[in-house]
A and B are shown apart, each in its own frame.
Chain A
Amino acid sequence: MEALEDGEEDEREALKRHLRAERQKRKKRLLEQSSLQKSRDADDVKDVTSIQQYSADEGPSEKADDSVVLSKSRTGSQKVLCAPGLTSITQHTHHLDDFVKRRLEEKLKAARSKGESLQDKEASLEFPSRLHSLKDRDTVTRFDREADADRAGRRDSPSPLSTRVRFREAARQVGKGLPTAEEAFNFFTLNFDPDPPDVIETSSRRRQKQRKTTDEDEEHEDVDEDIQEENETQSEEAPLVQTQEDLFVIDQSPQDFLEIKKAEYVGYQKLLQRQSELLFTPSFRTVPTSIKLPENMKPRYLEDEGLYVGERPPVSLTNENILENRILKMEEGKKWFGDDGRIIALPNPIKESSTRPPLFHMEEALDPALQTVYRKAVKSKYANLYIAGGADPEGDYQLDVDVSGLIFSHHPLFSREHVLGARLAQLYDQYLTRQRNNLTGHLTDKLNGLRNALRNMLESHSGLNPTQALQQRISEYNLEVRNTRHLRDSEQEKDRTLLKNIVKVWKAIKALREFQKFTNTPYKLYLRRENVDRVSDEQDYEDEILAEVVELEAETEEEYQNKLAEYKKRLEEWKLCRKKQKAKKKKQKKKKKGQAQDDTEGEDEEQDVSESEGPTDEPPPKPEPPERPDLGSIEQWVREKTLRIRRKPGEAILIPELSASANITASELCPRAETARREDVARRSLFTKILYNDKEVSRTDSRSLNTDFRVHFGQIFNLKIVNCPQSISLQVFEEIGSSCSLLAQVFLPVPEPSVVTGSVPLEEFEFSSNQRVMFDHEGVGSDVPLSFEADGSNKQSLLTSGKVSCCVSWGIGDDDVPLAPPISQQPGGVHSGMGCLDAVSYIGASGLYDMKKIGEWARQSRLDPNDPKNASIMQLLKVASSGEVTAPEYFRLEHLQEEFNFVTDEELEKSGRFRLLKLRNQEVAEFRNYKFIPALEREVTDTVFQEYEKRLKEGEVIDTKEHLDSHRALVAKYLQKIRESVINRFLLAKHHYLLSDLVIEEEIPTIGILGINLFKLAEPKRPLKPQRKERKKVTAQNLSDGDIKLLVNIIRAYDIPVRRLQSNKPGQSSHSALQGSIGLLDQIQVRPFVEVSFQRTVLQTATADGPNPCWNEELQLPFSAPNGDYSTASLQSVKDEVFINIFDEVVHETVMNDKNRGKSIQTHIEKRWLGSVKIPFSTIYSQSKIDGTFKVNTPAVLLGYSKEKSHFTNSGFDILRSLSEGTFITLFITVDPQLVPGESVREKFDTQEDERLLQASERFERDAAQRYPERPCITTVIDLSGKTVFITRYIRPLSPPKELLDEFPNNPLEATPLVARFVSLIPSLPDQVSFSATCDLWSTCDQFLTLLAGDEEEHAVLLCNYFLSMGKKAWLIIGTAIPEGPTAYVLTLEQNLYLIWNPSSGQFYGQYDTFCPLQAVGCLVNPDNVWFNIQQYTSPMRVSFDISKAHLWKPFFSRTFSHPGLSSIQPEELVYRRTDRAAAAELQDRIERILKEKIMEWRPRQPTRWNRYCTTTLKQFLPKLELIRGQDVAEGHRHELQSLLGDYRISGFPLNLAFSEIRPIIEAVYSTGIHSVQASNVEFALAVYVHPYPNNVMSVWIYLASLVLT
């Protein structure tokens, strides 16, 4: 009963709810019942009661079965329980029934007024869903059963089995506790009457639906009602269960709003009638033809008339009829019918047989002709060169190619005469051209003009002294005259030679005709003589010669004068030289005489000498005076020349005229050979193909070759083009009979768009062919040596050649628009016309870069500066030459960038806002997430940048304030730099996304997973020994503060130091009663608890008893990332550590005697620090969970505590003392949710290793990972400079500092722990913290010692190297340990025992030590080789370290791949600096001062008193502790201390830390919680000792004690 009272209130509420629901339901039902006959009511009720009675009887007595129900019944109506007897309740129920019935009757009368039909309607208007839900409603029946149960609880009557089952079911449903969805729905949606009193109140009041407000009333009534309700419920139950249809629920409210009408009925016939008005059903009877045709028309059958009518597609007659009927109903329906009265139809399109040739014999090889051949699709070169708009018919372009004809200048069928004739014609053509140009005449005129001008100039200035400008001009004129004369002479010479040649060829022709006695060519040359006036001609001739002679004379004279001047100058020089030489000789003589000159003179001399030294050695030859030119010879020369190039005076001018008037000898008169040739000629015909873009588009007719070797085609081809014109060419073909051969190809230029048909003359394009043709007849052939000389000399080879006369132009459309594509479409057109384009754009944008080039070009092309077309370029040149624009010496990719620049670069630099934006964009640390960069420049304050600039400046300046030691500061800076560079690299890598970064996706289930899942189905739901499951990893990006929790599960601890009872001290004797009672029984007692502090959040476990406590508690610590930045990079750089401290809870009681109140006991709870474990967050983050037993870092001395000595002793070997000595704690730490550790930046690093070695190592690692994926295997590592280095290069014997070895000169074994301690004192700094990404960098020992910070690997490497140098057998173990995860340890072999050294703690363990933190051994490394563990087990206890066994250890270098003799990357020797003791002392003082300040700061409310006496005593202990390395504490000094401080209750301990920074020290002190002692009379003692080791390695000892005066 007591137990059941728990949650009584809830139960009661639930029951009330049920009751209300019931009430509601009842009400409704009653309404329905009222709709039935009133008379039935009474019977009903009677029935009900009887049934109720029955059901009540059958209510089983399952009290014991279902306490829940029981509790329900009890709690639901406590007053009921108070009732005198259960049976009386039943009676009471009867009584109540009557009462209720009466009232309901009243109410129903009122309700009935609404009318029966109304009720019916309403019922039907209910939402079906509600009806449904009510029908199947669980609650109804369930409650009924519960009501049963209620009574069952009270009545002890036997019950049938069936009800019992039902009851159980009900109980179970109740047991579920939570309502089902439907129940919930009903609960909320049903229109429950909220006011219980309403039921028993009058119906009028019920309509008002007003709720009573006074609580008390309600309560009373509630209870009463409860009883009543219950009874009512029972009475109502039977019909409810039996007739579920009655459960229709009618809300009263809809009755008020709905008007109910009789349904309207439409008779079937009427309906049909109405439908027929709207619907049309076409009949399927055949339509008579007459209806389908226009009136008075007879059907006309085309077929009968003999016309072909196609076969109509098959349509069933019925369908056709229906269609016809339908169409006829439509307007203009008749147009669908043909003349024959049938619906117009196209012939059946389906062919009877396949038109495709059938392929039989599928298996056999196909007919080769039908074989499909695959050809690779070739992209047309011109595919993308379509002219825009070329596709549509309006925008087409037309090229007109006019092939007029062709003339052969040589043809294989030429006879000799033809050859000569062709040559003659050629020469004559040349002559005509020259004649037309008349260059000679022009030049002569120009020369005369120049001469006149010169003469005039000289005459007009004859009297005066010629000015400078004049002289300049005269000389210019002279030059011009000379040039022109030269040109004229050469032209005249050419003219004359041409004329001579013509005459010569003509003579040859004549000779040939004479010789062969027939004429083949129609050429005939006439030479027309034009007589001249001999006198005037001679006069001219002489004048000309005279003028030329005069000019030449003047020129030679001038030249002579020049030369003479030159000569004189040189002579002068020569003379001077001579003089100097002489002087020098003299001087040398003087010098020899030893006569000292005065200073200045001497110097001058020296200078002179030095100046003339060069010439002195080689005296210049005496210049020759120029010869005086022979003026007479000039005239001679001129005359000769004139004779050569000009006709003689008085000689008639010969004008050749070539005519084709000669008769060609008829073939009959010719010799055989000639006839054969002529026949051959006649057989040949020629045609040309026109190729557009290398495709033949057209060809001319074939025309036969005439005897004159001219072919006339006279054809014009109009090409409609779509592609851009790339090339147009003509191919000349020669046809002999049926075979034709390509003679030559002529390329025609693509015309400019301005070139249109009709405006262009025919042009001649030369062609030639290098085909070799020989004939046996008179034809000379082609490429055959041919001589016209009698002796056969002077042979020539003639190639087939000729000219095609044709023209290409753009067509003209109807509206006189040239059908040419726009200029931009024409690739060739851009460069074609200088005139029509802007000069600058012609050169192209590229020209703009090089002003020099543009100038050059302008000069070369002789641009007319006055031409407005060239104005822009001239302007540009002017600017360029004026020096304002300097030609850039560089090439710029985006030469228009400047135009687009928002502001100038300087402005960008100056503006704070832009700078801010820029820095943010670069993700500079200070500005990475800077919000709201001000919109206006003036709002950007300089303070924003201060920090950033400070940091930039600080790059070099080292702030010694923050660091106690300048060396550390330096290292810190260095590390910071490396860190930044790595972070930058990481940031860059962060922008490379993987799919998993963006998309969450279920992984593919493999067979294995599926199998496991299937297996899991069979697993028990709550296994007895649950195992930890892998959780889903969460990407860090969508996390925020408070999302991440650190879960620390503290399980148990072993061997906690116990209190040492100081019974002689009166203060200690007053233990608490509990303690005391046990304390009497047991001497040792400790009440430890664990406090976990992380990021200044402190949580603690409950207090346990004894030295081996078991807590089994989970602590949740919130984690917040720095600056709320939950990116992987940021999380990795979290430096916070989790401190797990074990405290002893000490309870002090002080008895207070107060006169007024009597005796009171005040209890102080004091916590005393016993030890700690600290785990860096980075380790937890990278490991995702940490699980294991850890050695607790206990202070060497714990005042007031002692260890329970372990009772076994170890083997004789001295240093193998049992290391299980110490306190251990079992922990499980993880982060919730599991965070994804940063992926290592897997990059290919530089290396200096041999490629073969790298491959081998890759293979080795891959094999290892495949076979043993759990075992770490490392063969190559990355050094600080980011290069891959083979691991054995790190191992090399290196001697430890001499001081350490000197400590124990006789016992090297003793020195070993000291060396290990030295190594462990080098501060440890995980790579994750320092380098953010998980790339493990290994530094060499000297780097390590310089940086004084490193990972476990560095420690291990250094320790291993020291051990090797000390002559030990040592290996590096690559394995996994707790809590570090993958790490490196050191293995040594000492007297057949393997020792495992933890390099970062300096501890060593035997191979079979259970508490060795090393969990798995992956591989061993020594200077020579790497061995991978291929044994079954990895645990060091079960591993054999005998590396010589190949089946246990797989060596990297084996016989097949021998050690290539890798040199070590370690230095030869390590140089150690002695640490300055003074500096250590200073550091000691500083630490002490800081710590004292801090402790006082942490106690803001209490005064902190320092006990000086104690402090000094403690100070004395510390060096001793260092000497013994904190081990094997002498009990002595504790006693000493206690005797000194007899009156104090003292608790304290020394801390030992490796010194790196002050912050960890403060953290460590804070975590001990010594400052939190609340006692009013507490005093503190703090002593600091810094022991310097070589190379700035320092061991810091802090002795902390709290003293309470007793």
Chain B
Amino acid sequence: MAASNPSVFLLTVNGNIEGANFPEYDNLYCKYCFVYGHDWAPTTGLEEGITQIASKSSQASHRLIWNFPLATTFKSTNPSGWPQLVVSVYGPDVFGNDVVRGYGATHIPFTPGQHTKTIPMFVPEPTWRLQKFTGWLTGRRPEYTDPKVVAQGEGREVTRVHSQGFVSVSFLIMTKDMKKMDYDTGPSGPANKPSATSGWSTEEQP
């Protein structure tokens, strides 16, 4: 079991990229990655992933379902640079070129328990209208140099974006040793009850 005086705290993120709601597009897939600060490191699990291509159901709900599992554990010494989940959605356009359909980011919730996040997605806009047209023709829309750009605040003022749709992600969060290191993430839901049996309780009392 963990030492009584831990030097790191752990954050386990389980969850699902459940699906998305892009009213205009179909046959989309989603890439995700985590962006975190200097004091963070993933210990297990995938840092990046790519989902299958999903098409919409013909039924009433026009949701794209991926149900792509996320399972990553981070260790950290410093809550600064708390991990963020960056998702970017791609899909074919009229001509079959793979183009980006949305970028979005959200912080991993820091209270233990279950959370569902709906991430609004956006894409960068072309600078000129002509570019919009040529981009549409050639299938090369403006893209971020790195999807991780959306997790940072710096330099965003130079871009213009267009909102696209939503991606919903559910998280199941566990933390370990945060209280011991005097980081109190505040009250959490009623589902979060300390359990004495496991070191991996949702949060231990110090």
Partner among A930, A936, A1002 whose Cβ is within 8 Å of the Cβ of B135: A1002
Residues 1009-1045 of chain A: 1 if any B CB is under 8 Å from the residue's CB, otherwise 0? Answer: 0000000000000000000000000010110000000
Partner among B76, B131, B146, B155 whose Cβ is within 8 Å of the Cβ of A1001: B131
Whether A997 sits at the interface, judged by CB under 8 Å, is: yes
Evaluate contact between B7 and A997: CB separation under 8 angstroms: no
Partner among B7, B39, B154 whose Cβ is within 8 Å of the Cβ of A931: B39
Whether A469 sits at the interface, judged by CB under 8 Å, is: no
**CA–CA, A936 and B9, complex, Å:** 11
CB neighbours (8 Å) of B69 from chain A are none
Residues of B22-56 contacting chain A, CB below 8 A = 38-39, 41
Whether A935 sits at the interface, judged by CB under 8 Å, is: yes
CB neighbours (8 Å) of A1005 from chain B are 134
The distance from the CB of B4 to the nearest CB of chain A, in whole angstroms, is 13
Whether A933 sits at the interface, judged by CB under 8 Å, is: yes
Evaluate contact between A998 and B131: CB separation under 8 angstroms: no
Summarize A's interface: helix, strand, loop or mixed. Answer: loop
Evaluate contact between B145 and A935: CB separation under 8 angstroms: no
Say yes or no: A939-B7 contact (C-beta < 8 A), given A998-B158, A998-B159. Answer: yes
Residues 110-148 of chain B: 1 if any A CB is under 8 Å from the residue's CB, otherwise 0? Answer: 000000000000001011101100110010101111100
Whether B16 sits at the interface, judged by CB under 8 Å, is: no
The distance from the CB of B90 to the nearest CB of chain A, in whole angstroms, is 14
**CA–CA, A930 and B77, complex, Å:** 13
The distance from the CB of A572 to the nearest CB of chain B, in whole angstroms, is 77
Chain A residue nearest to B9 (CB atoms) is: A935
Whether A1000 sits at the interface, judged by CB under 8 Å, is: yes
Whether B108 sits at the interface, judged by CB under 8 Å, is: no
Evaluate contact between B77 and A994: CB separation under 8 angstroms: no
Partner among A931, A999, A1004 whose Cβ is within 8 Å of the Cβ of B159: A999
Whether B149 sits at the interface, judged by CB under 8 Å, is: yes
Evaluate contact between A999 and B154: CB separation under 8 angstroms: no
Chain B residue nearest to A1038 (CB atoms) is: B146
Whether A920 sits at the interface, judged by CB under 8 Å, is: yes
CB neighbours (8 Å) of B172 from chain A are none
CB neighbours (8 Å) of B143 from chain A are 999-1001
**CA–CA, A996 and B138, complex, Å:** 19
Partner among A932, A939, A997 whose Cβ is within 8 Å of the Cβ of B145: A997
Evaluate contact between B138 and A1002: CB separation under 8 angstroms: yes
CB neighbours (8 Å) of B138 from chain A are 1002
Evaluate contact between B39 and A932: CB separation under 8 angstroms: yes
Whether A934 sits at the interface, judged by CB under 8 Å, is: yes
CB neighbours (8 Å) of A845 from chain B are none
Residues of A1125-1158 contacting chain B, CB below 8 A = none
Partner among A920, A997, A1004, A1035 whose Cβ is within 8 Å of the Cβ of B155: A997
Evaluate contact between B142 and A935: CB separation under 8 angstroms: no
Whether A188 sits at the interface, judged by CB under 8 Å, is: no
Whether B181 sits at the interface, judged by CB under 8 Å, is: yes
Q: Number of B residues contacting the other chain (C-beta, 8 Å)? A: 34
The distance from the CB of A1002 to the nearest CB of chain B, in whole angstroms, is 5
Whether B162 sits at the interface, judged by CB under 8 Å, is: no
Whether B201 sits at the interface, judged by CB under 8 Å, is: no
Evaluate contact between A1000 and B144: CB separation under 8 angstroms: yes
The distance from the CB of A912 to the nearest CB of chain B, in whole angstroms, is 13
Evaluate contact between A1000 and B7: CB separation under 8 angstroms: no
**CA–CA, A241 and B48, complex, Å:** 51
CB neighbours (8 Å) of B5 from chain A are 936
Whether A515 sits at the interface, judged by CB under 8 Å, is: no
Whether A929 sits at the interface, judged by CB under 8 Å, is: yes
Whether A991 sits at the interface, judged by CB under 8 Å, is: yes
Chain B residue nearest to A934 (CB atoms) is: B77
Residues of A770-815 contacting chain B, CB below 8 A = none
Residues of A1474-1508 contacting chain B, CB below 8 A = none
Evaluate contact between B140 and A1002: CB separation under 8 angstroms: yes
Whether B78 sits at the interface, judged by CB under 8 Å, is: yes
Summarize B's interface: helix, strand, loop or mixed. Answer: loop
Whether A995 sits at the interface, judged by CB under 8 Å, is: yes
Partner among A929, A993, A1002 whose Cβ is within 8 Å of the Cβ of B154: A993
Residues of A578-632 contacting chain B, CB below 8 A = none
CB neighbours (8 Å) of B142 from chain A are 999-1002
Say yes or no: A998-B149 contact (C-beta < 8 A), given A991-B154, A993-B155. Answer: yes
Say yes or no: A1004-B130 contact (C-beta < 8 A), given A991-B154, A998-B144, A998-B149. Answer: yes
CB neighbours (8 Å) of A992 from chain B are 155
Partner among A932, A999, A1002 whose Cβ is within 8 Å of the Cβ of B134: A1002
Partner among A929, A999, A1004, A1037 whose Cβ is within 8 Å of the Cβ of B128: A1004
Evaluate contact between B181 and A935: CB separation under 8 angstroms: yes
CB neighbours (8 Å) of B80 from chain A are 917
Evaluate contact between A933 and B39: CB separation under 8 angstroms: yes
Evaluate contact between A991 and B77: CB separation under 8 angstroms: no
Of residues A932, A992, A999, A1001, which shows the largest number of chain B Cβ atoms within 10 Å of its Cβ?
A: A999
Evaluate contact between B131 and A936: CB separation under 8 angstroms: no
Evaluate contact between A999 and B124: CB separation under 8 angstroms: yes
Whether B8 sits at the interface, judged by CB under 8 Å, is: yes
CB neighbours (8 Å) of A1003 from chain B are 131
Whether B156 sits at the interface, judged by CB under 8 Å, is: yes
Residues of B75-114 contacting chain A, CB below 8 A = 76-78, 80
**CA–CA, A1001 and B125, complex, Å:** 9
Residues 237-276 of chain A: 1 if any B CB is under 8 Å from the residue's CB, otherwise 0? Answer: 0000000000000000000000000000000000000000
Partner among A936, A993, A995 whose Cβ is within 8 Å of the Cβ of B127: A995
Chain B residue nearest to A991 (CB atoms) is: B154
CB neighbours (8 Å) of A930 from chain B are 38
Chain A residue nearest to B125 (CB atoms) is: A999
Partner among A932, A995, A997 whose Cβ is within 8 Å of the Cβ of B41: A932
Say yes or no: A1004-B7 contact (C-beta < 8 A), given A931-B41, A997-B155, A998-B149. Answer: no
The distance from the CB of A1012 to the nearest CB of chain B, in whole angstroms, is 15
Residues 171-199 of chain B: 1 if any A CB is under 8 Å from the residue's CB, otherwise 0? Answer: 00000000001000000000000000000
**CA–CA, A1084 and B9, complex, Å:** 75
The distance from the CB of B115 to the nearest CB of chain A, in whole angstroms, is 24
Residues 532-547 of chain A: 1 if any B CB is under 8 Å from the residue's CB, otherwise 0? Answer: 0000000000000000
Of residues A920, A932, A994, which shows the largest number of chain B Cβ atoms within 10 Å of its Cβ?
A: A932
CB neighbours (8 Å) of B9 from chain A are 935
**CA–CA, A866 and B148, complex, Å:** 66
Evaluate contact between A933 and B159: CB separation under 8 angstroms: no
**CA–CA, A999 and B122, complex, Å:** 13
Can you name 17 A-B residue pairings with CB atoms under 8 Å?
A929-B38, A933-B39, A935-B8, A935-B9, A936-B5, A939-B7, A991-B154, A993-B154, A993-B158, A995-B159, A997-B145, A998-B159, A1000-B145, A1001-B126, A1002-B134, A1002-B138, A1037-B146
Per CB-CB distance, the 5 closest pairs between chain A and chain B, nearest first, are A993-B155, A935-B77, A1001-B142, A999-B124, A995-B158
11 further contact pairs, Cβ within 8 A, besides A995-B159, A998-B158, A1002-B131: A917-B78, A917-B80, A929-B38, A933-B78, A935-B9, A935-B77, A935-B181, A993-B155, A1001-B135, A1004-B134, A1005-B134
